[in-house]
């Protein structure tokens, strides 16, 4: 345990945080706890910051780095993230650089020289590099303003993003006890939070916990039938022309889905660890720099992707935990505009994830934790109540309102029905057939289908044969899935996919346990959630681009931005954010002073682009 470091006030004349926010970043004020965090760190305090994606974590260490003497060292796990952040900072006139494995020896030496000469405000460093003796000795000779440990949950061995190289970061506190440490993450359940505090020696340091709500994200979880077709419809009906990320579990599926989308006229690109590094980089660049690209990826993609205008995140397979789901869906709508988190989920997902856990080489304790996390996610998928409420509840946040008005369950509340008899029929069928068969065969028996397998095992002679004709195969699948989710049935991982009864099934069979089932509305739910939400705002149906002010000017500004981005080789949002483009189009500024008042226009951007932007405004009608 370390004591709080002594207050280490910047010795030079401290520029006021608000004026730096205004002049460098072009922003009028702080958001949420930013101001408080920035003051605390600037005064030399350690802290842990928990803020959702898009909440504004970067400013929490960028501003103190500018306000304190010396250079802020930012530990960040991904080169892509570093590159984009550094590009954005340089655009804003900040002396920023990154040290990572993509540099040549000369480039790295030059950055080291600038650090020692005091010419850098911010330096991003990969964790494995930071802990090398060479880098530690370099930092010991430099003036370090602070250490920011971004994506701090990567230290957690229980977490979904564990990175062994993060464990070594405990050396920061040992070697630089007097330099403030700020750890930041968008994912932290209680257990992860404790691990961060222990590993980074933040005992006693304040924890700034923001609301994790992402009100602009609409959560939707649909029953998986033909996932690829459902996805195509979802994109075409709701997000035509939008940028999005589609997550799949396997590389093969990534390729298949990307091909299917492309065939359907949706510009989709695959991304997974099996692709050549050059191809991966090219696909990522196109996703960042062009409008409306859909990337189909394994979870290898996304951490460190700062693209603010991702309009949807779709899951075709179940993630491992609510943390993973929340982090992945959180990549949608960083800019605060309406976005959708869509997932198709079915029985096979639960079975598959369970098998992966059972077959993993982890300890029993690890498997137990993993099963608990999977169960929590399945419960979210099955709930008939507000999904946002559930999600936030998982992170320990309670809300006064019961209904958020912006998730599928709130917008079209699912119907519930008494499922006791259906459950009994299904569980009896599992029992009578000897607890050795998977979903397909069980359903064949229930609906009385004379397949080869049914006759082979003589299951047409059983009392349960044909007792379930009131439902079709699709409906039985959802009943089955819900019984697995409720824990009355379990997929036996020893006998591939076989469903077996659990202890709690007995209560259902005896009629002692009530079973309420969710009725799946016929047809896709895609359509059901369109239209007005309860609060009356229009649903973010992407087929209406959301009524921008002065569309011709808007289009002209975007075209100009694309050109500039291409010439400079940076993502479009590094030049100007969408919200800044919206602001200029809406305000039609006549003078540099008016332009300067639009959020996102700092001194450097005004200097570089001001005249050009005014010229575009003047020359474009409407």
Question: Considering CB distances under 5 to 8 angstroms, the limit depending on partner class, which of ligand ADP, Zn ion, none binds residue 388?
Answer: Zn ion
Distance of CA 514 to the CA centre of its chain: 36
Roughly how many angstroms between the first and final C-alpha of the chain, as a whole number?
Answer: 62
Instruction: Determine whether 145 is exposed, middle or buried from the number of CB atoms within 10 Å of its CB (0-12, 13-18, 19+).
Output: buried
Which of positions 295-334 make contact with ligand ADP (CB under 6 A)?
306, 308, 334
Region from 48-56, 152-160, 242-250, 417-425 binding ligand ADP, contact rule CB under 6 A: 48-56
Residue 388 CB, nearest approach to Zn ion (Å): 5
Does residue 30 touch ligand ADP according to CB under 6 A? yes
Region from 47-55, 136-144, 485-493, 611-619 binding ligand ADP, contact rule CB under 6 A: 47-55
Q: Are 399 and 389 in contact (CB under 8 A)?
A: yes
Which of positions 400-419 make contact with Zn ion (CB under 5 A)?
404, 407, 410
| Binding track, positions 331-360, relative to ligand ADP; x by CB under 6 A | ---x--------------------------
- Nearer CB in complex with ligand ADP: 30/560: 30
- Nearer CB in complex with ligand ADP: 56/244: 56
Does residue 540 touch ligand ADP according to CB under 6 A? no
Query: 221: which 2 tokens?
Result: 């979880």
Instruction: Give the Cα separation of 513 and 268 in Å (integer).
Output: 47
> Residue 203: how many CB atoms within 10 A of its CB?
12
- The residue within the footprint of ligand ADP, chosen from 40, 57, 272, 518 (CB under 6 A), is 57
Does residue 270 touch ligand ADP according to CB under 6 A? no
Does residue 56 touch ligand ADP according to CB under 6 A? yes
Query: 372: which 2 tokens?
Result: 């608990």
Question: Considering CB distances under 5 to 8 angstroms, the limit depending on partner class, which of ligand ADP, Zn ion, none binds residue 228?
Answer: none
- The residue within the footprint of ligand ADP, chosen from 17, 27, 89, 374 (CB under 6 A), is 27
Does residue 570 touch Zn ion according to CB under 5 A? no
Question: Considering CB distances under 5 to 8 angstroms, the limit depending on partner class, which of Zn ion, ligand ADP, none binds residue 354?
Answer: none
Which of positions 359-388 make contact with Zn ion (CB under 5 A)?
386, 388
Residue 390, classed as helix, strand or coil, is helix
Residue 54 CB, nearest approach to ligand ADP (Å): 5
Does residue 61 touch ligand ADP according to CB under 6 A? no
Nearest-5° Cα angle at 281, 280 to 282 = 90
SS3 per-residue string spanning 444-507: HHHHCCCCHHHHHCCHHHCCCCCCCCCCCHHHHHHHHHHHHHHCCEEEECCCCCEEEECHHHHH
Dump the DSSP string for 15-69.
PPHHHHHHHHH--SS--TTHHHHHHHHHTT--EEEE--TTS-HHHHHHHHHHHSS
Would you tell me which residues interact with Zn ion (CB under 5 A)?
386, 388, 404, 407, 410
Would you tell me which residues interact with ligand ADP (CB under 6 A)?
27, 30-31, 34, 51, 53-59, 306, 308, 334, 577, 599
């Amino acid at each position: 345990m370390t004591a709080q470091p002594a207050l280490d006030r910047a010795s030079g004349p401290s520029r006021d945080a608000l004026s730096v926010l205004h002049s460098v970043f072009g922003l009028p004020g702080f958001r949420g706890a930013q101001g408080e965090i920035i003051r605390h760190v600037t005064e030399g305090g350690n802290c842990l910051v928990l803020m959702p994606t898009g909440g504004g974590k970067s400013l929490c260490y960028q501003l103190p780095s500018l306000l304190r003497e010396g250079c802020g060292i930012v530990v960040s796990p991904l080169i892509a993230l570093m590159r984009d952040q550094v590009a954005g900072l340089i655009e804003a006139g900040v002396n920023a650089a990154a040290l990572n494995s993509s540099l040549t020896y000369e480039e790295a030496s030059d950055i080291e020289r600038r650090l020692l000469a005091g010419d850098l405000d911010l330096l991003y460093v990969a964790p494995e590099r930071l802990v090398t003796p060479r880098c530690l000795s370099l930092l010991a000779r430099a003036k370090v303003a602070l250490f920011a440990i971004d994506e701090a949950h990567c230290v957690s061995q229980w977490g979904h993003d564990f990175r062994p190289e993060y464990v070594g970061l405990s050396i920061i506190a040992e070697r630089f006890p007097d330099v403030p440490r700020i750890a930041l993450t968008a994912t932290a359940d209680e257990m992860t939070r404790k691990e961060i505090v222990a590993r980074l020696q933040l005992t006693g340091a304040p924890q700034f916990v923001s609301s994790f709500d992402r009100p602009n994200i609409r959560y939707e979880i649909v029953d998986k039938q033909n996932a690829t077709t459902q996805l195509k419809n979802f994109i075409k009906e709701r997000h035509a022309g939008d940028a999005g990320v589609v997550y799949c579990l396997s590389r093969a599926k990534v390729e298949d889905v990307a091909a299917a989308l492309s065939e359907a006229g949706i510009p989709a690109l695959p991304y997974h660890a099996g692709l050549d590094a050059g191809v991966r980089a090219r696909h990522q660049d196109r996703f960042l720099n062009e409008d409306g690209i859909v990337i189909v990826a394994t979870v290898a993609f996304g951490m460190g992707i700062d693209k603010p205008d991702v309009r949807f995140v779709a899951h075709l397979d179940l993630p491992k935990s609510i943390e993973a789901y929340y982090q992945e869906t959180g990549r949608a709508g960083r800019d605060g505009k309406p976005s959708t988190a869509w997932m198709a989920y079915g029985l096979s997902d639960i079975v598959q994830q369970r098998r992966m856990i059972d077959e993993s080489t982890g300890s029993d304790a690890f498997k137990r934790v993993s099963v608990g996390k999977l169960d929590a996610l399945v419960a979210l998928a099955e709930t008939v109540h507000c999904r946002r409420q559930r999600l936030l509840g998982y992170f320990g946040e309670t809300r006064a309102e019961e209904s958020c008005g912006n998730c599928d369950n709130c917008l079209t509340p699912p119907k519930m029905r008494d499922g006791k008899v259906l459950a009994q029929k299904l569980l009896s069928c599992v029992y009578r057939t000897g607890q050795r068969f998977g979903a397909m065969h069980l359903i064949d028996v229930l609906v009385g289908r004379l397949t080869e397998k049914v006759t082979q095992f003589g299951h047409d002679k059983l009392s349960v044969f044909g007792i379930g004709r009131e439902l079709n195969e699709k409906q039985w699948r959802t009943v089955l899935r819900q019984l697995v989710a409720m824990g009355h049935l379990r997929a036996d991982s020893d006998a591939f996919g076989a469903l077996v009864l659990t202890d709690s099934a007995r209560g259902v069979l005896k009629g002692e346990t009530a079973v309420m089932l969710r009725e799946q509305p016929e047809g896709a739910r895609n359509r059901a959630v369109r239209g007005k939400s309860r609060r009356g705002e229009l649903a973010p149906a992407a087929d209406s681009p959301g009524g921008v002010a002065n569309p011709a000017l808007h289009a002209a500004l975007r075209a100009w931005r694309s050109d500039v981005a291409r010439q400079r080789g940076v993502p479009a949002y590094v030049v100007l954010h969408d919200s800044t483009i919206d602001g200029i189009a809406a305000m039609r500024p006549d003078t540099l002073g008016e332009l300067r008042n639009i959020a996102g226009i700092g001194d450097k951007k005004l200097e570089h682009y001001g005249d050009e932007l005014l010229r575009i405004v003047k020359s474009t009608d409407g």
